[in-house]
Protein backbone atom coordinates (compact mmCIF):
# COMPACT_ATOMS: atom_id res chain seq x y z
CA UNK A 1 0.00 0.00 0.00
CA UNK A 2 1.27 3.42 -0.92
CA UNK A 3 1.68 5.73 2.06
CA UNK A 4 2.88 8.79 0.18
CA UNK A 5 2.35 9.53 -3.48
CA UNK A 6 3.65 12.54 -5.39
CA UNK A 7 2.71 12.97 -9.03
CA UNK A 8 3.67 15.84 -11.34
CA UNK A 9 4.58 18.05 -8.41
CA UNK A 10 5.81 21.56 -9.18
CA UNK A 11 7.03 23.89 -6.46
CA UNK A 12 7.99 27.54 -6.45
CA UNK A 13 9.63 30.17 -4.26
CA UNK A 14 8.27 33.45 -5.55
CA UNK A 15 9.21 33.49 -9.25
CA UNK A 16 11.73 30.65 -8.94
CA UNK A 17 10.47 27.34 -10.24
CA UNK A 18 12.25 24.67 -8.14
CA UNK A 19 10.53 21.29 -8.74
CA UNK A 20 9.47 20.14 -12.21
CA UNK A 21 6.81 17.42 -12.52
CA UNK A 22 8.34 15.38 -9.73
CA UNK A 23 7.05 11.83 -9.12
CA UNK A 24 7.78 9.88 -5.97
CA UNK A 25 6.11 7.27 -3.83
CA UNK A 26 6.82 5.66 -0.49
CA UNK A 27 5.09 2.45 0.51
CA UNK A 28 3.86 1.69 4.00
CA UNK A 29 6.79 0.70 6.29
CA UNK A 30 9.29 1.42 3.54
CA UNK A 31 12.48 3.47 3.99
CA UNK A 32 13.24 5.56 0.92
CA UNK A 33 16.25 7.81 0.28
CA UNK A 34 15.98 11.02 -1.69
CA UNK A 35 19.42 11.78 -3.10
CA UNK A 36 20.92 14.55 -5.14
CA UNK A 37 23.47 17.30 -5.03
CA UNK A 38 23.16 20.41 -2.96
CA UNK A 39 20.41 22.52 -4.49
CA UNK A 40 18.87 19.62 -6.44
CA UNK A 41 15.53 20.19 -4.70
CA UNK A 42 15.58 17.59 -1.91
CA UNK A 43 14.58 19.95 0.89
CA UNK A 44 12.02 21.61 -1.38
CA UNK A 45 10.47 18.19 -1.98
CA UNK A 46 10.10 17.69 1.77
CA UNK A 47 8.70 21.21 2.12
CA UNK A 48 6.15 20.45 -0.57
CA UNK A 49 5.03 17.45 1.45
CA UNK A 50 4.84 19.36 4.77
CA UNK A 51 3.20 22.39 3.17
CA UNK A 52 5.90 24.86 4.21
CA UNK A 53 6.42 26.26 0.73
CA UNK A 54 4.55 29.26 -0.66
CA UNK A 55 3.29 27.50 -3.80
CA UNK A 56 3.02 23.84 -4.78
CA UNK A 57 1.01 22.16 -7.51
CA UNK A 58 0.32 18.63 -8.60
CA UNK A 59 -0.91 15.59 -6.72
CA UNK A 60 0.33 14.92 -3.19
CA UNK A 61 -1.59 12.11 -1.50
CA UNK A 62 -1.03 10.66 1.93
CA UNK A 63 -2.82 7.34 2.48
CA UNK A 64 -4.90 8.00 -0.64
CA UNK A 65 -6.09 11.40 0.60
CA UNK A 66 -4.99 14.63 -1.00
CA UNK A 67 -2.97 16.90 1.30
CA UNK A 68 -1.97 19.44 -1.33
CA UNK A 69 -4.43 22.06 -0.07
CA UNK A 70 -3.98 21.35 3.65
CA UNK A 71 -2.32 23.70 6.14
CA UNK A 72 1.02 22.84 7.74
CA UNK A 73 -0.53 21.90 11.09
CA UNK A 74 -3.28 19.84 9.44
CA UNK A 75 -0.67 17.84 7.50
CA UNK A 76 1.33 17.31 10.69
CA UNK A 77 -1.78 16.12 12.47
CA UNK A 78 -2.35 13.51 9.75
CA UNK A 79 0.86 11.87 10.95
CA UNK A 80 3.59 13.35 8.72
CA UNK A 81 6.45 14.54 10.95
CA UNK A 82 9.56 16.37 9.81
CA UNK A 83 13.02 16.40 11.35
CA UNK A 84 14.23 19.59 9.69
CA UNK A 85 17.68 20.16 8.31
CA UNK A 86 18.37 23.06 10.70
CA UNK A 87 17.05 20.96 13.65
CA UNK A 88 15.09 23.94 14.91
CA UNK A 89 15.06 23.07 18.58
CA UNK A 90 13.18 25.71 20.57
CA UNK A 91 16.17 27.52 22.11
CA UNK A 92 14.63 28.75 25.36
CA UNK A 93 12.82 25.51 26.16
CA UNK A 94 14.62 22.72 27.98
CA UNK A 95 15.07 19.27 26.47
CA UNK A 96 12.16 18.02 28.57
CA UNK A 97 9.98 21.00 27.60
CA UNK A 98 10.77 20.53 23.90
CA UNK A 99 9.51 16.95 24.20
CA UNK A 100 6.48 17.90 26.33
CA UNK A 101 5.47 20.59 23.84
CA UNK A 102 5.72 18.09 21.02
CA UNK A 103 3.72 15.44 22.90
CA UNK A 104 0.99 17.90 23.93
CA UNK A 105 0.70 19.52 20.49
CA UNK A 106 0.02 16.21 18.82
CA UNK A 107 -3.63 15.59 17.96
CA UNK A 108 -3.11 11.89 17.35
CA UNK A 109 -1.45 9.18 19.40
CA UNK A 110 1.79 10.10 21.17
CA UNK A 111 4.55 8.07 22.81
CA UNK A 112 5.73 8.43 26.41
CA UNK A 113 8.63 10.86 26.81
CA UNK A 114 10.51 8.33 28.94
CA UNK A 115 10.75 6.05 25.89
CA UNK A 116 12.69 8.80 24.15
CA UNK A 117 15.25 8.85 26.94
CA UNK A 118 15.63 5.08 26.52
CA UNK A 119 16.25 5.51 22.80
CA UNK A 120 18.52 8.54 23.25
CA UNK A 121 20.31 8.03 26.60
CA UNK A 122 22.45 11.10 25.89
CA UNK A 123 19.35 13.27 26.32
CA UNK A 124 18.52 11.78 29.70
CA UNK A 125 21.27 13.73 31.47
CA UNK A 126 20.31 16.92 29.65
CA UNK A 127 16.60 17.07 30.55
CA UNK A 128 16.88 20.46 32.26
CA UNK A 129 19.25 22.05 29.72
CA UNK A 130 17.96 24.72 27.37
CA UNK A 131 17.91 23.83 23.69
CA UNK A 132 20.34 26.61 22.86
CA UNK A 133 22.99 25.08 25.14
CA UNK A 134 23.08 21.69 23.36
CA UNK A 135 25.77 20.62 20.91
CA UNK A 136 24.85 20.00 17.28
CA UNK A 137 24.71 16.25 17.85
CA UNK A 138 22.53 16.60 20.92
CA UNK A 139 20.19 18.95 19.08
CA UNK A 140 19.90 16.44 16.25
CA UNK A 141 19.04 13.64 18.67
CA UNK A 142 16.43 15.88 20.31
CA UNK A 143 15.03 16.87 16.92
CA UNK A 144 14.52 13.17 16.02
CA UNK A 145 13.10 12.44 19.49
CA UNK A 146 10.72 15.39 19.18
CA UNK A 147 9.33 13.90 15.96
CA UNK A 148 9.23 10.34 17.33
CA UNK A 149 7.28 11.32 20.44
CA UNK A 150 4.42 12.23 18.10
CA UNK A 151 4.36 8.63 16.88
CA UNK A 152 4.75 9.48 13.18
CA UNK A 153 3.10 7.51 10.39
CA UNK A 154 5.58 9.04 7.97
CA UNK A 155 8.91 10.36 9.21
CA UNK A 156 10.74 12.86 7.01
CA UNK A 157 14.44 13.16 7.84
CA UNK A 158 16.15 16.12 6.19
CA UNK A 159 19.95 15.73 6.14
CA UNK A 160 20.16 14.20 9.63
CA UNK A 161 23.97 13.88 9.62
CA UNK A 162 24.81 17.32 8.31
CA UNK A 163 27.49 19.06 10.34
CA UNK A 164 27.86 16.20 12.82
CA UNK A 165 31.16 14.65 13.99
CA UNK A 166 31.78 11.13 12.55
CA UNK A 167 31.42 9.48 15.96
CA UNK A 168 28.00 11.11 16.45
CA UNK A 169 26.98 10.04 12.94
CA UNK A 170 27.77 6.42 13.92
CA UNK A 171 25.60 6.71 17.05
CA UNK A 172 22.78 8.27 15.06
CA UNK A 173 23.00 5.56 12.42
CA UNK A 174 22.63 2.83 15.04
CA UNK A 175 19.63 4.57 16.59
CA UNK A 176 17.96 5.22 13.24
CA UNK A 177 18.51 1.61 12.19
CA UNK A 178 16.57 0.53 15.28
CA UNK A 179 13.85 3.04 14.55
CA UNK A 180 13.40 2.04 10.91
CA UNK A 181 13.26 -1.63 11.88
CA UNK A 182 9.99 -0.80 13.65
CA UNK A 183 6.78 -0.22 11.72
CA UNK A 184 7.66 3.22 10.49
CA UNK A 185 7.66 4.77 7.04
CA UNK A 186 10.63 7.02 6.32
CA UNK A 187 11.72 9.39 3.57
CA UNK A 188 15.29 10.54 4.13
CA UNK A 189 17.42 13.08 2.28
CA UNK A 190 21.18 12.88 2.72
CA UNK A 191 24.42 14.25 1.33
CA UNK A 192 26.13 11.42 3.18
CA UNK A 193 25.18 8.81 0.58
CA UNK A 194 26.67 5.85 2.40
CA UNK A 195 24.60 6.70 5.47
CA UNK A 196 21.42 6.86 3.40
CA UNK A 197 22.17 3.61 1.56
CA UNK A 198 22.74 1.81 4.87
CA UNK A 199 19.27 2.74 6.09
CA UNK A 200 17.14 2.62 2.97
CA UNK A 201 15.51 0.05 0.73
CA UNK A 202 14.90 2.24 -2.29
CA UNK A 203 16.23 5.54 -3.59
CA UNK A 204 15.33 8.42 -5.85
CA UNK A 205 17.95 10.65 -7.41
CA UNK A 206 16.84 14.13 -8.37
CA UNK A 207 18.76 16.71 -10.36
CA UNK A 208 17.72 20.34 -10.87
CA UNK A 209 14.28 19.62 -9.46
CA UNK A 210 13.54 16.69 -11.81
CA UNK A 211 13.52 12.92 -11.42
CA UNK A 212 16.84 11.52 -12.67
CA UNK A 213 16.68 7.90 -11.51
CA UNK A 214 14.93 5.58 -9.10
CA UNK A 215 15.38 1.98 -8.05
CA UNK A 216 16.48 -0.30 -5.24
CA UNK A 217 19.61 0.25 -3.16
CA UNK A 218 21.17 -2.92 -4.65
CA UNK A 219 20.69 -1.56 -8.14
CA UNK A 220 22.18 1.77 -7.11
CA UNK A 221 25.25 0.19 -5.53
CA UNK A 222 25.99 -1.42 -8.91
CA UNK A 223 25.68 1.87 -10.75
CA UNK A 224 28.85 3.74 -9.96
CA UNK A 225 28.21 5.88 -13.03
CA UNK A 226 25.03 7.29 -11.42
CA UNK A 227 26.70 7.89 -8.11
CA UNK A 228 29.51 9.75 -9.80
CA UNK A 229 27.33 11.67 -12.21
CA UNK A 230 24.66 12.85 -9.80
CA UNK A 231 26.23 12.56 -6.38
CA UNK A 232 29.98 12.86 -7.07
CA UNK A 233 30.80 9.95 -4.81
CA UNK A 234 32.28 6.50 -4.96
CA UNK A 235 30.60 3.93 -2.74
CA UNK A 236 32.47 1.32 -0.75
CA UNK A 237 31.32 -2.26 -1.08
Q: At what angle are helices 136-148 and 166-181 packed, to 10 degrees?
A: 10
CB of 220 to another protein, least distance (A): 30
CB of 118 to another protein, least distance (A): 21
Q: What is the dihedral of CA 104, 105, 108, 109, to 10 degrees?
A: -30
Tally Cβ neighbours within 10 Å of residue 115.
Answer: 12
Closest of 205, 207, 209 to residue 197, by C-alpha: 205
| Closer CB to another protein, 105 or 208, in the complex | 105
CB of 194 to another protein, least distance (A): 28
Interatomic CA distance for residues 118 and 101, integer angstroms: 19
Contacts of 160 (CB under 8 A, 6+ apart): 83, 140, 144, 172, 176, 188, 190
Options 45, 140, 150, 200; binder of another protein; rule CB under 8 A: 150
**Contacts (CB under 8 A) with another protein, residues 67-106:** 71-73, 76-77, 81-82, 84, 88, 90-93, 97, 100-102, 104-106
| Closer CB to another protein, 90 or 213, in the complex | 90
Please tell me whether residue 32 binds another protein under the rule CB under 8 A. no
Please tell me whether residue 50 binds another protein under the rule CB under 8 A. yes
Whole-Å CA distances, 112 to 99, 146, 148 = 10, 11, 10
Closest of 100, 153, 152 to residue 127, by C-alpha: 100
CB of 189 to another protein, least distance (A): 16
CB of 147 to another protein, least distance (A): 8
Sign of the dihedral through C-alpha 201, 206, 209, 212: negative
Options 134, 146, 160, 199; binder of another protein; rule CB under 8 A: 146
Please tell me whether residue 112 binds another protein under the rule CB under 8 A. no
Name the site residues for another protein (rule: CB under 8 A): 50, 52, 71-73, 76-77, 81-82, 84, 88, 90-93, 97, 100-102, 104-107, 146, 150
Amino acid sequence: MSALELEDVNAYYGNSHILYDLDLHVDQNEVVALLGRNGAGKTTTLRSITGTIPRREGRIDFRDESIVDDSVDAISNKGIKLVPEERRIFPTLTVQENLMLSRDSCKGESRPIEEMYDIFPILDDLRGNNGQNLSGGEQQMLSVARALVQSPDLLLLDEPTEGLAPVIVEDLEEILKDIVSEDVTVLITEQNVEFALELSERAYIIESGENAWDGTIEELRDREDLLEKYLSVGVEE
